[in-house]
């Protein structure tokens, strides 16, 4: 007799409870689509609620002052960083609508006495489009959006992990359901498996956070990219990441003022001996200090800045991975070069500190003057920067790629949408804070498209497909239950994460990447037989490890093609024994970036033989219709009969 599962039915299921997930559900309800629910592993988990920086940035169209800005100018900024033009235009055009919704929900973005939302310049930003509500901007966004969802009494299935998307066959697959694991019911015959029958899924599951060991993603965040890829969704630019310096005990970016106050960089060897190491790699202490200062607003590692701020990342990586030292930031005393004051600094660094009233003795005094919240943030997590050093490393922070979407944030699988970091909208470079704008614009556009489409006629074969998938997964899990294996799923996960951080992060070795991809492929081929499921309560984690392996294999496929065809690009530096030496004292030799490296994007698909990646030319920014009467007529035709009603 086949096992019976709990079954729920909704028109649209949103997976994820961060900025993108809550916003998607809230917009659907506002647009008249009330048959919606949210599925989440945990309301307090995820990147949106648990990450930030010294001054977490939200990127939007300029809304203050005399400097001219426009949707097209913002789209051009996105496009220049390697983003497809149609997505660039959509994210720019939706910027103000999304931003003011957050303002109206209570996110405390600062404005002046006249109501102008003033901005500042962030990385890869030619204007002053950045704003911030402080170190916890995305947390405030999540909290405000959650309150909006809860007021509407939208159902939230908390404590459930989505493990498989079910689709119908055909040339154009269509999503028809989701399998989830409810760990609270793991002792039952179904091992906690729960079925959700749905016509649309919005995957707001975040980026592939479980890929690396050295990571600034919160430990509660792993991502579900593998699940989406195995459902047939294509990926875009999986090789494009952001890496940068972050604390490792409490995971947090050490960008902005953490660098601009000029802390000491200290290495501690295996015997406990301390040494301030940056002057060992530069021609003068002043040059080292200027690079540290620039690291503040050039936080992401960038292959174009190897002789500038990104040299700091390479040096830290060498100290940690090659010399096996622990590396710390020390805010308690001035670094070498400031013994006699600030004359060793370049003009930009000195003027910044002077204008900030921060020409003070010790980095902690300067940090207290410029950003006291940055000190309190660490203190709230048991780290007192006034009394102890802060351990750091070079960590993965954001995947600029993800699941490929169109301008409605729908994937190539009908009814499957991806929003937030799960969606691969960005190119090689992106302005700081644009990821938060993308969570709001992408989820809003997905909701609007679902509302326009109306209900999809559902046949019984779709429900049967979900039931069959659940029975198949349960059978596989039972075969793995109690088996003997060479490694547990967590041991395998940690081993592969460590390998990824060593050879496939900001420094990439093509031979090692190809070797690792083959090894992961072999692990996946025999996963159920070789990796035991120790008890039913571990089904979610066992599936999650497999999801991470699938994602790693896809990422490695995209990286291998990029290295072989393009070389160094973005935050990925190609190691080459016959290449250039970067800095004296560093054994690393690399292939420097070539011209025109930003004009292509990758697409990765799952085929029978594994993942296949191919490059395509970037799409230009469309010439959109701007004559009002024509746009009005097109809008009426586009929205009639759907859920988006005029005036709603």
Region 193-215 average pLDDT: 96
Supply the pLDDT for residue 1: 56
Q: Which of the four pLDDT bands, split at 50, 70 and 90, describes residue 471?
A: very high
- What are the Cα distances from residue 296, in Å, to 122, 123, 150? 10, 10, 38
645 falls in which pLDDT band (50, 70, 90)? very low
DSSP conformation class of 609: T
CB atoms within 10 A of CB 6: 14
In terms of domains, do 250 and 380 share one?
A: yes
According to the model, what pLDDT value does residue 625 have? 82
Q: How confident is the model at residue 642 (pLDDT cuts 50, 70, 90)?
A: very low
Instruction: Kindly report the CATH number assigned to the domain that includes residue 500.
Output: 1.20.58.100
Residue 284 within any structural domain of the chain:
yes
pLDDT digits (tens, 9 = 90+) for 352-374: 999 999 999 999 999 999 999 89
Question: Does residue 139 lie within any of the structural domains?
Answer: no
Residues 257 and 380 in one domain: yes
CA distance to 14, 48, 584, 640, per residue, from 339 (Å) = 56, 41, 25, 71
Confidence of residue 2 (pLDDT cuts 50, 70, 90): confident
Do 344 and 249 lie in one domain? The reply is yes
Q: Is residue 452 part of a domain?
A: no
- 576-597 pLDDT, tens per residue? 999 989 888 899 999 888 766 6
Torsion, Cα 232 236 238 244, to 10 degrees, reads: -140
127-158: b (≥16 Cβ within 10 Å) or e: bbbbbbbbbbbbbbbbbbbbebbeeeebebbe
Average pLDDT of the residues in 534-558: 96
pLDDT computed for residue 506 by the predictor? 96
Give residue 459's pLDDT.
86
Last residue of a domain, one of 367, 396, 425: 396
Residue 626 lies in a domain: no
- Structural domain includes residue 635: no
Same domain, 384 and 517: no
Report which of 428, 31, 354 is spatially closest to residue 200, judged by C-alpha positions. 31
Q: Please report which residue ranges of 152-248 form alpha helices under DSSP H.
A: 225-230
Is residue 298 domain-resident?
yes
Q: Which of 184-188, 462-466, 626-630 is predicted most confidently?
A: 462-466
User: Of the ranges 188-192, 278-282, 482-486, 521-525, which one carries the lowest mean pLDDT score?
Assistant: 482-486
d(CA 547, CA 210): 9
Q: Which of 74, 20, 87 has its CA nearest to residue 601? A: 87
Residue 648 included in any domain = no
- Yes or no: say if 570 and 600 are a contact pair by the CB < 8 Å rule: no
Average model confidence (pLDDT) across the chain: 93
Tally of CB atoms within 10 A around 234: 17
Instruction: Report whether pLDDT(169) > 60.
Output: yes
262 and 353 part of one domain: yes
My answer on whether 261 and 347 are in the same domain is yes
Indicate whether 482 and 387 sit together in one domain. no
Final residue belonging to a domain, choices 340, 363, 396: 396
Counting the structural domains of the chain, the total is 2
Q: Tell me, yes or no, whether 424 lies in a domain.
A: no
22 pLDDT band, cuts 50/70/90, is very high
C-alpha span between 396 and 390 (Å, rounded): 18
Q: Which two tokens stand for residue 110?
A: 């600062």
Task: Determine the 3-state secondary structure of 330 from DSSP.
Answer: strand
- How far apart are alpha carbons 377 and 515 in whole angstroms? 41
Q: Mean of the pLDDT values across residues 324-352?
A: 95
How do residues 557-576 score in pLDDT, each as one tens digit?
A: 999 999 999 999 999 999 99
Residue 106 pLDDT level (bands cut at 50, 70, 90): very high
- 414-436 pLDDT, tens digit each: 999 999 999 999 999 999 899 99
pLDDT at 455 over 80: no
Do 258 and 346 reside in the same domain of the chain? yes
Confidence of residue 643 (pLDDT cuts 50, 70, 90): very low
> Average pLDDT for residues 528-537, to the nearest whole number?
92
Query: Is a pLDDT exceeding 70 seen at residue 546?
Result: yes
Reply yes or no on whether the pLDDT at 16 is more than 80: yes
Per-residue tokens: 331: 């805010």
Structural domain that includes position 322 = 243-396
* Confidence at residue 648, expressed as pLDDT on a 0 to 100 scale: 28
pLDDT in tens, 55-99: 889 999 999 988 889 999 999 999 999 999 999 999 999 999 999
Residues 301 and 390 grouped into a single domain: yes
Instruction: Give the mean pLDDT of 185-190.
Output: 85
Q: Are residues 374 and 498 in the same domain?
A: no
Would you say residue 644 has pLDDT above 80? no
Q: Are residues 364 and 490 in the same domain?
A: no
Contacts of 249 (CB under 8 A, 6+ apart): 383, 391
Q: Where are the alpha helices (DSSP H) in 71-183?
A: 71-80, 85-93, 95-105, 137-151
Judge if 495 and 600 occupy the same domain.
yes
Closest CA to 62 of 131, 115, 123, 113: 131
Share of residues in the chain with pLDDT > 90 (%): 83
Domain boundary among 396, 430, 450: 396
């Amino acid at each position: 007799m086949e096992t019976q599962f709990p079954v729920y039915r909704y028109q649209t299921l949103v997976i994820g409870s961060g900025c993108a997930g809550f916003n998607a559900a809230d917009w659907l309800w506002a647009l008249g689509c009330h048959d919606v629910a949210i599925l989440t592993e945990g309301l307090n988990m995820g990147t949106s609620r648990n990450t930030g920086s010294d001054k977490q940035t939200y990127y939007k169209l300029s809304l203050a002052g005399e400097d001219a800005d426009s949707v097209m100018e913002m789209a051009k900024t996105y496009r220049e960083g390697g983003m497809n033009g149609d997505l660039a235009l959509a994210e720019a055009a939706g910027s103000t609508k999304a931003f003011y919704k957050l303002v109206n929900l209570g996110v405390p973005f600062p404005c002046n006495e006249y109501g102008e939302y003033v901005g500042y310049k962030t990385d890869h930003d030619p204007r002053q489009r950045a704003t911030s509500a402080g170190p916890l901007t995305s947390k405030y966004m999540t909290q405000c959006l959650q309150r909006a969802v809860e007021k509407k009494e939208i159902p939230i299935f908390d404590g459930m992990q989505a493990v498989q998307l079910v689709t119908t066959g055909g040339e154009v697959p269509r999503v028809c359901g989701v399998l989830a694991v409810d760990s609270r019911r793991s002792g039952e015959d179904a091992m906690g498996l729960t079925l959700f029958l749905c016509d649309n899924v919005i995957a707001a599951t975040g980026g592939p956070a479980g890929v690396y060991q050295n990571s600034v993603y919160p430990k509660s965040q792993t991502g579900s990219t593998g699940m989406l890829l195995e459902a047939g969704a294509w990926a875009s630019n999986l090789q494009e990441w952001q890496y940068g310096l972050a604390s490792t005990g409490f995971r947090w970016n050490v960008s902005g003022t953490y660098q601009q106050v000029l802390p000491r960089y200290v290495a501690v060897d295996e015997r406990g001996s301390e040494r301030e190491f940056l002057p060992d790699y530069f021609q003068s202490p002043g040059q080292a200090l200027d690079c540290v200062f620039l690291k503040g607003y050039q936080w992401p590692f960038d292959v174009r800045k190897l002789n500038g701020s990104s040299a700091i990342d390479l040096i830290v990586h060498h100290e940690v991975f090659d010399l096996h030292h622990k590396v710390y930031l020390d805010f308690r005393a001035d670094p070498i070069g400031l013994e006699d004051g600030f004359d060793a600094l370049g003009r930009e660094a000195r003027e910044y500190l002077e204008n900030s009233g921060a020409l003070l003795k010790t980095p902690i005094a300067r940090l207290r003057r410029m950003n006291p919240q940055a000190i309190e943030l660490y203190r709230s997590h048991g780290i007192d920067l006034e009394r102890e050093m802060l351990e750091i490393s070079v960590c993965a922070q954001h995947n600029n790629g993800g699941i490929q979407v169109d301008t409605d944030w729908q994937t190539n699988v009908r009814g499957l949408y991806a929003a937030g970091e799960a969606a691969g909208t960005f190119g090689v470079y992106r302005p700081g804070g644009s990821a938060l704008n993308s969570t709001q614009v992408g989820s809003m556009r997905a909701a609007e498209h679902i509302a326009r489409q109306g209900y999809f006629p559902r046949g019984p074969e779709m429900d049967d497909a979900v039931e069959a998938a659940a029975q198949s997964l349960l059978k596989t899990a039972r075969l793995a239950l109690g088996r003997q294996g060479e490694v547990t799923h967590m041991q395998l996960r940690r081993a592969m994460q460590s390998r990824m951080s060593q050879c496939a992060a900001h420094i990439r070795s093509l031979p090692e990447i190809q070797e690792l991809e083959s090894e992961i492929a072999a692990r996946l081929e025999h996963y159920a037989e070789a990796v035991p499921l120790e008890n039913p309560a571990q089904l979610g984690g066992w599936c999650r490890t497999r999801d991470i392996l699938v994602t790693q294999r896809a990422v490695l496929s995209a990286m291998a093609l990029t290295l072989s065809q393009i070389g160094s690009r973005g935050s990925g530096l190609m190691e080459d024994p016959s290449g250039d030496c970067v800095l004296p004292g560093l054994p690393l030799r690399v292939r420097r970036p070539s011209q025109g490296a930003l004009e292509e994007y990758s697409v990765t698909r799952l085929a029978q033989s594994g993942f296949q990646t191919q490059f395509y030319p970037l799409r230009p920014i469309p010439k959109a219709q701007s004559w009002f009467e024509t746009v009005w007529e097109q809008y009426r035709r586009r929205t009639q009969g759907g859920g988006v009603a005029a005036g709603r």
